[in-house]
């Protein structure tokens, strides 16, 4: 218990201490004024919100398909699901959602590696999809140690009956992976910086990541709130994801070098197509998914 709490404390407090160190170390360093603009933040925030909602929806879809494969009648909502009937492997299928989006995250990472020279603003969307696929799935394994009543907990403890020592190992491994993944994503996000400014300046890195990741993720999390279905306690989910991931991305930005510019257009202007897509998603979630879709 103490060991898990120690690593959890590091996961939450570590980037804060790292950030304070960066502030002290680089407070006298000059960062160019033209390193970033608000178009970057707005574009990234919209794509972040779309990716968050799509990954969360896919998680619930995989959960429903898992129940449906067992012959159960299942109901799909945006951030919830339900089913009618019983089957010996129902608890096992409670892990299908997290596993599904984890695989989606890996697939998006693979796609991202194959489009390094794409200038489309949607390249950032692929990266945010990979981020959410991993960061919305891996922490669910960590949480099982604290609460075995979660979806993944029912699969790992309720069906597979994993022992306490193994849950401790899984929890600690998950926490380490979360930090490492966020540090890696920090460098990938910095590559979207303008090629006219050298992003090997720690202060410039921190400034750019504050727009493309920190500000964008917080604004994107607020944009997710209208998509949530009551009870409104569901609305805190995007902010929980923000708290244990984005600070690592911000703090790690100072040490990411050298940075190689990735051709893109997200810094040039605000794009309307992602905004329209987000609005269409909201209409679909509220008009179709809120009442529920039956799978039988």
Interval 147-198: pLDDT, tens? 999 999 999 999 999 999 999 999 999 999 999 999 999 999 998 987 655 5
Q: Say what the pLDDT of residue 260 is.
A: 75
Each residue of 98-115: b (16+ CB within 10 Å) or e? bbbbbebbeebbeebeee
Return left, alpha or beta for 261; rule: phi > 0 is left, psi -120 to 50 is alpha, else beta.
beta
* pLDDT for residue 175: 97
In this structure, is residue 63 part of a structural domain? yes
Strand pairing of 73-76 and 293-295? antiparallel
Q: Is residue 14 part of a domain?
A: no
Number of domains in the chain: 1
Host domain of residue 65: 47-70+87-276
Between 81 and 284, the higher pLDDT residue: 284
What six digits make up the tokens of 81? 């699901």
Q: How far is CA 224 from CA 11, 40, 55, 104, 231, in A?
A: 24, 19, 12, 20, 14
pTM metric for this prediction = 0.94
């Amino acid at each position: 218990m103490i060991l898990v709490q120690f690593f959890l404390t590091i996961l939450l407090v570590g980037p804060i201490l790292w950030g304070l160190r960066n502030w002290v170390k680089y407070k006298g360093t000059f960062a160019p004024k033209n390193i970033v603009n608000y178009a970057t933040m707005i574009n990234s925030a919209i794509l972040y919100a779309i990716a968050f909602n799509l990954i969360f929806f896919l998680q619930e879809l995989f959960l429903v398909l898992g129940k449906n494969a067992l012959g159960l009648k299942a109901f799909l909502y945006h951030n919830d699901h339900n089913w009618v009937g019983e089957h010996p492997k129902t608890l096992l299928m409670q892990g299908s959602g997290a596993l599904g989006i984890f695989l989606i995250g890996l697939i998006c990472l693979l796609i991202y590696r194959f489009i390094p020279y794409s200038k489309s603003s949607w390249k950032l969307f692929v990266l945010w999809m990979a981020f959410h696929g991993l960061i919305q799935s891996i922490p669910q394994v960590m949480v099982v140690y604290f609460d075995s009543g979660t979806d993944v907990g029912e699969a790992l403890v309720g069906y597979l009956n994993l022992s306490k020592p193994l849950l401790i190992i899984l929890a600690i491994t998950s926490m380490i992976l979360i930090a490492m993944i966020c540090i890696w994503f920090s460098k990938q996000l910095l590559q979207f910086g303008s090629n006219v400014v050298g992003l090997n300046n720690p202060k410039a890195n921190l400034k750019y990541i504050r727009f493309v990741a920190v500000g964008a993720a917080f604004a994107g999390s607020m944009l997710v709130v209208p998509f949530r279905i009551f009870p409104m306690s569901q609305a805190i989910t995007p902010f929980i994801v923000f708290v244990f991931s984005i600070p690592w991305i911000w703090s790690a930005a100072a040490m990411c070098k050298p940075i190689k510019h990735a051709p893109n257009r997200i810094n040039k202007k605000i794009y309307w197509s992602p905004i329209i897509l987000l609005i269409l998603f909201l209409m679909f979630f509220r008009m179709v998914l809120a009442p529920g879709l039956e799978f039988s």
